Amino acid sequence: MPEWIAHPEEWGVAALVAAVAMIGIFVLLRLILGGARSLRGTAAAALPAKQYQRVLLPASPETGYSEEVVSLACRLAGSGGHAAAAIVLTYVIEVPRALAPNAEMPEEEAAAQRVLDEAAASVKRCGLQPIIRIRKARGVLEGTLRAIGEEKADLLVLMVPSGSISPNSPSPAASLTRELARRAPCEVVLARTAAALV
């Protein structure tokens, strides 16, 4: 039996020594476990930030916009603690070669405005501010590629058109999407929603 047990006047000192010892063990354990955690932390891969400045959503008479593509673009543009990206909605009107490049095309421009206004309303519902642009070009592909450069877009969001698209018999919309994905000089997100399956 330890000698101090027989001396009640020393019990306080013993309790103090025990408390200090327990605190020491506790601090030591925290240091060891904390160190292990930080070691594991250094093994974590640094995920790409995926912070974009300008997200471009192109539309044309062939493709238009879907609620899903706007929703996806909003998620990708969303802040995540940083400044949210601008969402640029652009609609390319194809101008026939018989007309001047900047010829007025009131019907097409009105249709484009309707499509863009609708998409812009969806973007605003996500809490983001859209930028809308109507462009004219000889071809939708070249017009969209030019828009990527001029708008300084760092992300192009494309929706795979619904329906079966065989590389051997692609629809015009599918061909356009494929070419854009292939030639865009920026990062591309190509999406197909489950809704397209129904």
Question: Is the CB of 112 or the CB of 157 nearer to other proteins?
Answer: 157
Site residues for other proteins, 129-158, by CB under 8 A, read none
Question: Is the CB of 131 or the CB of 186 nearer to other proteins?
Answer: 186
Nearest alpha-carbon partner for 119 in 136, 105, 132: 132
Least distance from C-beta 6 to other proteins, angstroms?
54
Least distance from C-beta 121 to other proteins, angstroms?
15
Cα→Cα distances 144→138, 148, 156, Å: 11, 6, 10
DSSP symbol at 56 = E
Site residues for other proteins, 59-78, by CB under 8 A, read 67-69, 71-72, 75-76, 78
In this structure, the number of other CB atoms found within 10 A of the CB of residue 29 comes to 10
Residues 94, 139 contacting (CB under 8 angstroms): yes
| Rounded Cα gap, residues 158 and 77, in angstroms | 14
> Which range of residues in 1-9, 44-52, 54-62, 130-138 is near other proteins by CB under 8 A?
44-52
* Residues lying near other proteins in the complex (CB under 8 A): 40-41, 43-50, 67-69, 71-72, 75-76, 78, 80, 160-167, 170, 174, 177-178, 181-198
